[in-house]
A and B are shown apart, each in its own frame.
Chain A
Amino acid sequence: MLTIEEVPNTDQFKGQELSILVSAGWMDNRYDATISRFEDTYGCTVDLQTIPADQYSDILQSDLENGTCPDIFWIQSNPFAIDSVIVDPEKYCIDFSGADWQNVMPTSRQASCMSGDKLYGLQIWHNSPEYVMVYNKTLFNELGITSVPTTYDDLKKDCATIAAKGITPWFMPGADGWQHQLSFFQIGGVYQEDQPTLYDDLNNNKATFADNKKMLEVLGQFKELSDAGYFGEDWIGTDSTNMSNEFGDRKCAMAMANSSFIKQIQDDTGTKDEYGLFLIPLGDNTWYPTNPAGPTMFGYKGTKNADLVKAFFQFVCTPDSLQEILDNSPAYTNLDVNVNIEQHWLPEEEEFMKTVDPSKMGISVLQTGTKYTNDYWMDFGADMVSFCQGTMEANDVLKNMDTNRAKSAKTAGDPNWK
């Protein structure tokens, strides 16, 4: 356990301004108290610019190309993202190699902050299970479902039981465009288990998504559930705005969500029902969705306040700041850091983690473990919808992903794609 100390104040930053560029959702109000204290401690001001999510990457690219980037900027990072999003970290990012706070992050997350052995970013994120199945335990018990489904057949049976009572078994907000494909990608381990070198082969252009037996099977299962109406009558036209109320009103029994969503349901609706978590059972999956990705902050190399930037990074990693950030995040129950802070794990999370086999946590999700895949997240989702509406074949959905990945690979000059 580390204890990072803030840089001592000698009025060296008095009157300076630190600008931060971030996308909506990555910092929100969580950092407000810490930023305020930072301003007070050093007598400086912080200009926090929250950009709409849709525009963020355009603004960032424009700023980097034109040299007008704020002192600190964020990206959604994973082991491949620095190269594909920032492209030239040496040119744009402050080199933090050797910083005290490097080991505040667990080694798995450090991979998303480094490029070519140099440390560029800081990733403070939670380690709660992301996008697993959240379900209404009380409702399940009332309907006689005493154990969570671990195979696809179990899932189908349970869905039928729930649907018979006029409740939507699996709430699927298709209109968001980015959620339904999680059911395909989060179970990445299942594909690797079926074909042990799949991820590497996909990254070396020695394998394709097309014709992959397991993937076709999973897509088929998804369509089956959709056709049976288990996702809701109009899942394609429904978004997630009202999701917590759907649970609170008992109009649905389960959905993919972060474990912290349970707290959100309780806060928003005041429900007395009990909730739980289980792994997505498509393809008879038993793998935990490990995902060493998250919003990560970087220092802009062209800044005029490099020392102030460094002081900020240092400040954020102190135990006081980390505690503050966690306490001000109503949606998060813990921070994945090697620092002694008081975590707020939900009992449901702890119960769930006990049921997960540690040997099934070693494979990351498909979109993070393979290159060029995440860029086509939305496109794949749209194709899945076409497949469910009968205007596309399952294998064509997979073929499109291959074609798209090839496009990205060629643009990146990847030697494996000639």
Chain B
Amino acid sequence: MKRKTIQNTIKTIVCLFLSFLVVAPFYMVLINSFKTKGEAARMNLSLPTKWLFQNYSEVIEKGKLMQGFINSLSYAMIATFAGVLLCAMAAYVLSRNETKINTFLYYFFLSGLFFPVNYVTLVRVFQWMHLTNTRTGIILVFTSAMIPFCIFTIFSFVKSVPVEMDEAAVIDGAGPVSLFFQIIVPLLKPTLVTCFILEFMGVWSDFLTPLYLSSKSKLFPMTMAVYQFFGKNKNYWNYIFADIILTCIPVIIVYLLGQKYIVGGMTTGAVKE
């Protein structure tokens, strides 16, 4: 007992110290978002001489953040949801049914991890398909880009779901679709949620894709707004930091909600049944 408490105390101290290292730069961003332009340029940790809460309303208005927020949310939510689901289905089949074709396809998808996205040629493809300046087009690209990573990740974890579960369900009369959605998916939850969190953040912070694929600012994501305040002679650090805080909040929420689903030790009892 005593050893456990000493261990836990040490662990807590280490975690607190690391948390401090992690939080300090965020605190710097947060505290400077409430200062005047001149004060914010010093980028230190002191409290503002005057708390300028209106910096946030300025940023929301000038940076058209509401519109950007809706765009980013729709891109990230839809693309990630679709992407993770589609990849789960594909990775599951590739893993369970190891034919020659499927092994080839797995490595085929995998190679995508190494290819860089080429925006110039992508725009050409878009034009052929009349997808420029459409929300659908942008979402399709986001979904496609996450396929290599998701298939790769989920493939590795599918093996941890015992094939006996499949067999039991088939005996009980389940078809392929209900087998997948009712048995496999719940067991893959930690993996799927992890994938979702990581890819959501990826799509959320990707501002290059909508930038190249649309020439209308009403399709721009929230993360573009910061550049309204960035200029050679106009560095409104306080606004920039306020914008960053606002942009980070949704991703934090997604992580907080998601990591409740990554609970420990699943299938312990299931197989024995």
On whether A and B touch (CB less than 8 Å), the answer reads yes
Interface of A is mostly: mixed
The CA of A291 and the CA of B196, in the complex, are separated in Å by: 52
Whether the pair A62, B119 counts as a contact (CB closer than 8 A) is: yes
Which of B23-31, B104-112, B229-237 contacts the other chain? B229-237
The CA of A268 and the CA of B220, in the complex, are separated in Å by: 32
Say how far A64's CB is from chain B's closest CB, in angstroms.
11
Please name all residues of chain B whose beta carbon is closer than 8 Å to the beta carbon of A25 when the two chains form the complex: 230-234
The CA of A268 and the CA of B88, in the complex, are separated in Å by: 54
Which of A45-53, A214-222, A383-391, A404-412 contacts the other chain? A45-53
The interface size of chain A toward B, counting residues with CB under 8 Å, comes to 38
Please name all residues of chain A whose beta carbon is closer than 8 Å to the beta carbon of B123 when the two chains form the complex: 62, 66, 68
Does residue B215 face the partner (Cβ distance < 8 Å to A)? Answer: yes
The CA of A242 and the CA of B41, in the complex, are separated in Å by: 5
Say how far A183's CB is from chain B's closest CB, in angstroms.
17
The CA of A356 and the CA of B89, in the complex, are separated in Å by: 74
Does residue B208 face the partner (Cβ distance < 8 Å to A)? Answer: yes
Whether the pair B228, A51 counts as a contact (CB closer than 8 A) is: no
Does residue B11 face the partner (Cβ distance < 8 Å to A)? Answer: no
Please name all residues of chain B whose beta carbon is closer than 8 Å to the beta carbon of A48 when the two chains form the complex: 217
Please name all residues of chain B whose beta carbon is closer than 8 Å to the beta carbon of A68 when the two chains form the complex: 123, 127, 132, 215
Whether the pair B227, A52 counts as a contact (CB closer than 8 A) is: yes
Please name all residues of chain A whose beta carbon is closer than 8 Å to the beta carbon of B217 when the two chains form the complex: 19, 47-49
The interface size of chain B toward A, counting residues with CB under 8 Å, comes to 30
Say how far B21's CB is from chain A's closest CB, in angstroms.
21
Does residue B42 face the partner (Cβ distance < 8 Å to A)? Answer: yes
Whether the pair A53, B42 counts as a contact (CB closer than 8 A) is: no
Please name all residues of chain A whose beta carbon is closer than 8 Å to the beta carbon of B228 when the two chains form the complex: 24, 28, 50
The CA of A53 and the CA of B226, in the complex, are separated in Å by: 12
Whether the pair B230, A53 counts as a contact (CB closer than 8 A) is: yes
Does residue A367 face the partner (Cβ distance < 8 Å to B)? Answer: no
Please name all residues of chain B whose beta carbon is closer than 8 Å to the beta carbon of A47 when the two chains form the complex: 216-218
Does residue B171 face the partner (Cβ distance < 8 Å to A)? Answer: no
Does residue A269 face the partner (Cβ distance < 8 Å to B)? Answer: yes
Q: Which of A26, A29, A248, A268 contacts B37 (CB 8 A)?
A: A268
Does residue B124 face the partner (Cβ distance < 8 Å to A)? Answer: yes
Whether the pair A244, B212 counts as a contact (CB closer than 8 A) is: no
Please name all residues of chain A whose beta carbon is closer than 8 Å to the beta carbon of B215 when the two chains form the complex: 19, 21, 49, 63, 68-70
Does residue B159 face the partner (Cβ distance < 8 Å to A)? Answer: no
Please name all residues of chain B whose beta carbon is closer than 8 Å to the beta carbon of A268 when the two chains form the complex: 37-38, 41
**Which residues of B121-150 are within 8 A (CB) of A?**
123-124, 127, 132
**Binary interface encoding of chain A residues 317-340 relative to chain B, with 1 for a CB under 8 A from any of its CBs, else 0:** 000000000000001000000000
Does residue B246 face the partner (Cβ distance < 8 Å to A)? Answer: no
Q: Offer 21 A-B interface pairs, CB within 8 angstroms, sorted by A.
A: A19-B215, A19-B216, A24-B228, A24-B230, A25-B233, A28-B231, A47-B216, A47-B217, A49-B215, A49-B216, A50-B227, A50-B228, A53-B230, A55-B208, A59-B212, A66-B120, A241-B43, A244-B41, A245-B41, A268-B38, A269-B38
B: residues with CB less than 8 A from A are 37-38, 41-43, 62, 119-120, 123-124, 127, 132, 208, 211-212, 215-218, 220, 224, 227-228, 230-235, 237
15 extra interface residue pairs, beta carbon distance < 8 Å, beyond A62-B123, A244-B38:
A24-B231, A26-B231, A28-B228, A28-B231, A28-B234, A29-B62, A52-B227, A53-B230, A58-B119, A65-B120, A66-B124, A241-B41, A241-B43, A268-B37, A331-B234
